[in-house]
Structure 1
Amino acid sequence: MNLITEPENIEKKKWSDFVMNHPNGNIFQTPAIFDLYDKTPKYETVFCAALDSRNEIVGLNLAIIQKEHFGIFGQLSARSIIWGGPLIKEENPEVLDLLLRKYKEQIHDKAIYTQFRNLWQWSASERSVFENNSYEYIDHLDILIDLKIDENKLFNNFHSGRRKNIRRAERIPLVFEQVVDASEIKQCELLVKETYKRVKLPCPDKSFFDNAKTNLCENGMSKIFAVKYQDQIISCRYELCYKDLIYDWYAGTSETHLDKYPNDYLPWKILQWAKENKYSTFDFGGAGKPNEPYGVREYKLKFGGELVNYGRFEAIHKPRLMKLGKLGFIIYKKINGLR
């Protein structure tokens, strides 16, 4: 088995085809996502592909190291996230074990902890491979909306209050659009930043959104949707589009226009667009841990959908820095709350 850790040493088409043809293949393991994060400050990529004797890919893992700051303060926030990986051909446990062991070498001294954010249910035998490599399984929820059902049924699955707010928004009226104009894309970026600041969460900087436009939007792997009120964008959502799935990515809404129900209306219009364009599933993203209150989950569940528990695998590499990092995040939120 040959392991490739330098992406330039593997043919991009071969990489893309492997992800596209894998039953669990997803956008987060594609060359496009690698290029996005590799070109953006405060991110670092960690890559490994396993090739068999015929030089065919039989396993692949792409991790993204995220930092909120540069220099020594960046080390206090460095965490490695693997969305939808590793991808293993024919669920071969030996290849999975090989990639996990190699990843442990690669991540040494680079991140405080690692999270594998699962996008499907791993088998019991596969979970044991993770556990044997010192990863702990943690329950974590996600919400999936089936777009193959009839549109009326889809709408009727919404909470009654959600349906009522959508009808109110239609009477205002709000206007739904896909955003392609450069100046309007800039407005959407600012809305996302304002929203993240309001809820006291760190947000990627301008270079991230610029690179997302180049690496994802321009090749159809991401769409930006917005609703307007009197020709002004008041809410937007960035969606990832890959195979037959839409993944809810980033969102922003003007606080002064919440009374116009954009956070009810926009997701509904995106679901309609996705159905019309033959997507079969809308992934609403994380919904927190079971049996723990989480307002975001309550908001998302009012659009119907299925609550699934694919969980996460987590390993802490630097326990002391993990404690400091959690403290730093609490301080970050308090400081931003005072601004």
Structure 2
Amino acid sequence: MSYAYSLHEQAMLLLKHPKYNEWASFVEHHPHGSPFQHPDCHALFSSYGKLPHKALLHFDQEDHIDGIITAYPCSFFPQWPAIPHALIGINAPLVDPHCTPLQAQTILYQLHSALRKSKNRQTPLIEVREMNGKSGSPYRTGSTKTRLYLNLVKEITSPETILQGSSPTLKREIQRIRRSPFTTEEAVKEDLVPLLHLFKRLYRKIRKPMIAKSILRGIVDSKREQYSFRLIVTKREGRICGGALLGFCKETCYEWYIVSDRTIKDSGVATTWGAMEYAQQRGYKQFDFMGIGREGIPYGVRRFKLKFGGTITTYHRYWL
């Protein structure tokens, strides 16, 4: 009999869990797998987060994983007092590609139903984002609101491909940055205070979802225990002028959160360019910007991101 349940072990216990390797392998070999469904993500939130991360695993009759849905907690639209927190599920549910359409529909229904039970007064909203090729899925079970969004994915197989398709203006800016004292490196504990200040100031201003600061600290602390996430900083003459939270799975680097100090000239381009170079130098071939808003609706950084070139895709967001 198939069933779904939630795991809440601490990180060290999770690494020893009998299903850890199977869980990681399922995500890493799934065509739509991402770091957000990886057990490393669940371990980070379980160890360092204040609100529970939801990881629902579905098993077949032989007790093998055949479906996963995850959702991480974050602050959500601070101007809405009725919604202090939300759960966000990135890249939609994963179902074993070998399942029949009927089996897949059943698994997705059970995963959605189980995740919907996580709603409560403190977390009244669950948003699922069908990225990574899942746009148009017919299984948005129980969705009350569905919207189409745009995303941008850039090839970064070599330093040359990073520049291909970028605007002439951006190419000039990058040439200027290369002559300037900008550096990009992995964040250490001493970088956290100024970097967290930049994140806090930006996300309060734009009123967008933000994960807990403790998770960013946890990523820095757990670099030896997990390889799915890294926090990087961009500096100019030793001063932090930007940073990015990156996720990694298979050949793709995901720009989960990014910030720059607009009082420092070229810091925005230097931070994004530094993140792309960081990923390319470590063998990743795609850079996922993780959203450029909705078509026809103004979105602050869309024009900036499009300067880097890449392929525009569409995906759905829906609320449970």
The two structures have a TM-score, normalised by structure 2, of 0.83
Contact 2:91–2:134, Cα closer than 8 Å, also in 1: no
- Counterpart position of 2:12: none
Indicate how the Cα distance of structure 1 residues 10 and 60 shifts in structure 2: closer, same or farther if over 3 A, else same: farther
State the 1:46 CA deviation. 2.7
Residue 282 of structure 1 is matched in structure 2 by 287
Distance 1:245-1:160 versus aligned 2 partners, 3 A rule:
same
Equivalent residues in 2 for 1:198-237, closer than 5 Å: 198-201=205-208, 203-215=210-222, 218-237=225-244
Match of 1:196 among 171, 185, 203: 203
1:118-267 alignment to 2 at 5 Å?
Answer: 118-122=130-134, 127-130=137-140, 133-134=142-143, 136-148=145-157, 151-171=159-179, 173-201=180-208, 203-215=210-222, 218-257=225-264, 259=265, 261-267=266-272
Tell me, in whole angstroms, the C-alpha distance in 2 between the residues paired with 1:145 and 1:199.
Answer: 25
The answer on whether the counterparts of 1:29 and 1:61 sit within 8 Å (CA) in structure 2 is yes
Cα distance per residue 1:132-184 (max 9 Å; x no partner) = x4465421111100123x5334314211111222222233x223131343212
Choose which of 293, 296, 312 in structure 2 pairs with 1:307: 312
CA–CA separation in structure 2 for the residues paired with 1:82 and 1:299: 26
Output the amino acid matched with 1:138.
R
RMSD of equivalent CA atoms: 2.9
- Distance, in Å, in 2 between the alignment partners of 1:153 and 1:310 is 25
Structure number, greater radius of gyration: 1
- Structure 1 residues 186 and 247: CA distance shift in structure 2, 3 A: same
Q: Percent identity?
A: 21
Distance 2:46 2:82 in 1: 18
Pair 1:33 & 2:44 matched: no
Q: Indicate how the Cα distance of structure 1 residues 96 and 28 shifts in structure 2: closer, same or farther if over 3 A, else same.
A: farther
SS at structure 2 position matched to 1:274: helix
Shift of 1:102: 4.7
1:6 and 2:15 aligned? no
Q: Distance in 1 between matches of 2:296 and 2:76?
A: 30
Distance 2:29 2:198 in 1: 36
1:130 alignment partner, SS class = coil
Q: Is the 8 A contact 1:179 1:185 kept in 2?
A: no
TM-score by length of 1: 0.79
Choose between structure 1 and 2: higher helix proportion.
1
- Name stretches of at least 5 consecutive residues in structure 2 with no aligned partner: 10-16
**Matched residues, number:** 306
Measure how far apart 1:241 and its partner are: 1.9
Taking a change above 3 Å as real, the CA distance of residues 46 and 189 of structure 1, as seen in their structure-2 partners, is: same
